[in-house]
Amino acid sequence: MKKIMLSVFVAIFSIAFVLVSNAALTEHTILPDEINAAEVSGGTENPITSGLNFSVNTPGKLTKVRLWLAEGRSGLHTVSIWDANAGTMLAGPFDWELDGEQGWSYFELPEAIDIEVDKSYGVAISDNTSTFMSAIHGYWENNEPASDVFVTYHRGFSNEINVLPSNWNSDGTYMVDVVFVTGEPEPEPTTQPPETEPENPETSDSSPILFILSVFLVSITLIFVLRRCGDAQKTY
């Protein structure tokens, strides 16, 4: 009986820890994870650089770039992130070797980029070895973005390498997407306590503490019930 009670207690607290740790951050993408390969066209004799111009309605961080690969697209590519309003490069170009496996490939940025509200950002992916491009033309005629945090999501291209794409349009997609994160990450532990002002009890966020306390009380209740059941079995 003691082993059962201990197992229940550990399981409940493990679930509580995972929920509290993951509740702070949310990942958003423009395109869905599941893509119908039959709708994707791909081939050579295309512009060297394809890209995405996007804006959001909530602040966050750009952590990854992803590209859906049509069969046959591989080799060395470069990734760069742009301030589309100013036309200046924010990060990159970074080398990205694609293996040619059909489906989503992810490039994790060395450092997450702060994304502001109602400001246009550009993602450029240049093919350094060929002029292969993937696309679904007319995609947005029948589809909505996978997350409603995105306000604009235009595709563009250029015949030059490592430049901000131009020729923007909202007709379809070149299968370039972003992983955009909203929320506040858990603070990393430090050797010295940070200097903070006293919290106002009326405004401080105590929901994680209340959640853990609730789990603790539920655990104690379950242990009590299981113990009573064990005592009842001994009586009989």
pLDDT of residue 59: 96
Q: What is the C-alpha R_g of the chain?
A: 25
Positions in the chain whose pLDDT score sits under 70? 1-24, 184-236
Average pLDDT value over all residues in the chain: 78
pLDDT of residue 114: 97
pLDDT of residue 16: 42
pLDDT of residue 11: 44
For 18, phi then psi, to 5°, come to: -65, -45
Whether pTM > 0.85 for this model: the answer is no
pLDDT of residue 189: 57
pLDDT of residue 226: 53
- Please tell me the distance from the alpha carbon of residue 152 to that of residue 83, in angstroms, as a whole number: 14
pLDDT of residue 31: 96
